[in-house]
Chain A
Amino acid sequence: MTRVFLDHQSATPLLPEVFEEMKPYFMEAYGNPSSLHQHGLRVRDAMKKARARVAAFINAESEEEIFFTSDGTESANLAIKGVAYANERRGKHLVVSAIEHPSVMNSVEFLEKQGWTCARAPVDPQGRLRPEAIAEAITPQTTLIAVHHVNHDIGTIEPIAQIGRIAAEKGVPFYVDCEASAGWLPIDVQAMGANLVSFSPHRFYGPKGVGVLYRNRKARIVSILHGGVQEGGRRAGTENVPAIVGGGLAAEIAARELPRRVARTALLQRRLWEGLKARIPYIRLNGPEPGPERISTNLNLSTEFIEGEGQLLSLDISGVAVASGSSCVSKSLKISHVLAAIGLDHALAQGNIIMTLGQDNTEQEMDYVVETFAKIVTKLRAMSPMWEEFESGVIDSVISPTGRGKSFTDHAASISGKPAH
């Protein structure tokens, strides 16, 4: 059976050379880096090497600015809560974009319950943030600005350097979540004007179970995990040594391979989107067109008149692994907050599929996905009352309006007796 992995946003396969590098640290060099004997000192040395590799990967001034955590979510929690708590006396106001990852959004909501306030800067329909929107949201009480480099759902690249300049002018620490960009766009913390940056190596062929938080001296943070004095006292808990070692090498390789990986995925991204657009009517791309404003690995699609989970399940049965931001896929029954923030019509948000490319995908795979997806869309539309009602003129298309019939959202509200979200 043909198997095509198009969910690289969730995971990437470990590189064989990274696996080899990690191997000794399971059974042979099993020491705890906090120990003062030979076993501990050996792994301490390995961690120092990994820290230096990660520092070089993002152009950090010093390896002392690199903290290892368990994953991107922990790094985001430490960045947001760590800075907020450390600066509590200065002010309790935060500024974020409206489309940050849940690890940022939910950390902010947690702080709001404890008396912080937070401005969520809106984005345009392509998910682009205006730097001025951040400038306008800053108050004398603002102690942190958080904007991601690239959006995890729709692949929009944000104007980070411009926001970094605003943050520096106002003297507010600036945190950039690079979870969706690390390994796929160059990250230079100094050029970005970032005081904090987070990412995880499992997005670029490293292992799961390790996250990175970069923090320079301009951003004060306190620990949110209490225990020993690992990671300069900023992150208590025994380090995941094999993953840290693997993450270090994966970062070094990513820096070297980045131009090739980007060129490769950009080519496949265009082929896939052009193919889908030509083959399937009433389909649209959410976020910017492939090019300088969009990461080369992401396609976020809305296929009208059908729902996303059915598309995902049908693709999976045909060997194609994808993700979806549809409410039916989420455990909360809510559509992705990113799709809501860009003002996407509810019907289109329901039919959402996210395809994310990797370096091992091929042209043949893209062609297979186009053909397979076209068949699935036809099958699901034949089952959908919305397709039938569109064809008979009861409802109209949002993507290519015909001018007849009412909107899907109005129709759905009239039959469910409640407005759709």
Chain B
Amino acid sequence: MSETYTLYNETVMDHFLNPRNMGDIKDADGVGEVGAAACGDIMKISLKIREGRIEDARFKTFGCGSAIASSSMATELIKGRTVQEAMGFTNQEVVTALGGLPPVKIHCSVLAEEALKAALEDYIKRHPEAAGKPDATIPA
């Protein structure tokens, strides 16, 4: 065999083999850990938030190639967004940015969205003043 065949597309394989933002954040401002009841995968996202904006995002994932790629891509996409912008984040962004996932693996991207939302909720719990207030960093 000289050619290489892959189960996932090039972008997904790249994010699986060379994951971005893998690891933890020391003194994170928000941490979310969620599990998928359907398959048993577990995803953890840690956020560093400064002045209402996500400065850094890191992940750790127990799961398949597409779960690792989804969390890698999700952390890439949300860095630099405000908390309020990030609250509107959907799994579809991950799927699109990855150039698509097999139908049976879409739930991996949902898990990434849930891990991010859980981390944001953790942040808001710790900083109740951040909730519901118009974000100063969003241009009017």
Contacts and interface: CB of A to CB of B under 8 A. Distances in A.
Interface in B54-97: 60-65, 67-68
Chain A interface size, as a band, is 35 or more
Nearest to A419: B37
A421 B41 CA distance: 12
B140 interface: no
B39 interface: yes
Nearest to B43: A385
Given A313-B7, A350-B40, A383 B17 contact: no
Among A309, A384, A388, A421: residue with most chain B CB under 10 A: A309
Query: Would you call the interface of chain B mostly helix, strand, loop, or mixed?
Result: mixed
Q: Which of A308, A313, A386, A419: most chain B Cβ within 10 A?
A: A313
A27 interface: no
A347 B62 CA distance: 10
B8 to A, nearest CB: 8
Contacts of A384: 60-62
Interface in A282-326: 305-310, 313-314, 317, 326
A329 to B, nearest CB: 8
Interface string A316-354: 010000000011110101010000000000110010000
A420 interface: yes
B28 to A, nearest CB: 13
Interface string B32-43: 011111111111
A255 B65 CA distance: 41
Given A313-B7, A317-B17, A383-B22, A306 B62 contact: yes
B61 A383 contact: yes
Interface in B19-54: 19, 22, 24, 33-44
B1 interface: yes
B67 A328 contact: yes
Contacts of A346: 40
A214 to B, nearest CB: 36
B1 A307 contact: no
B34 A415 contact: yes
Contact of A385 (B33, B37, B65): B33
Interface string A112-154: 0000000000000000000000000000000000000000000
25 contacts: A305-B62, A306-B62, A307-B40, A309-B64, A310-B63, A313-B16, A327-B39, A328-B63, A333-B39, A333-B104, A350-B40, A382-B22, A383-B22, A385-B33, A385-B43, A385-B44, A385-B61, A386-B42, A388-B24, A412-B40, A415-B34, A416-B34, A416-B37, A417-B37, A420-B37
Interface of B: 1, 7, 13, 16-17, 19, 22, 24, 33-44, 60-65, 67-68, 104, 107
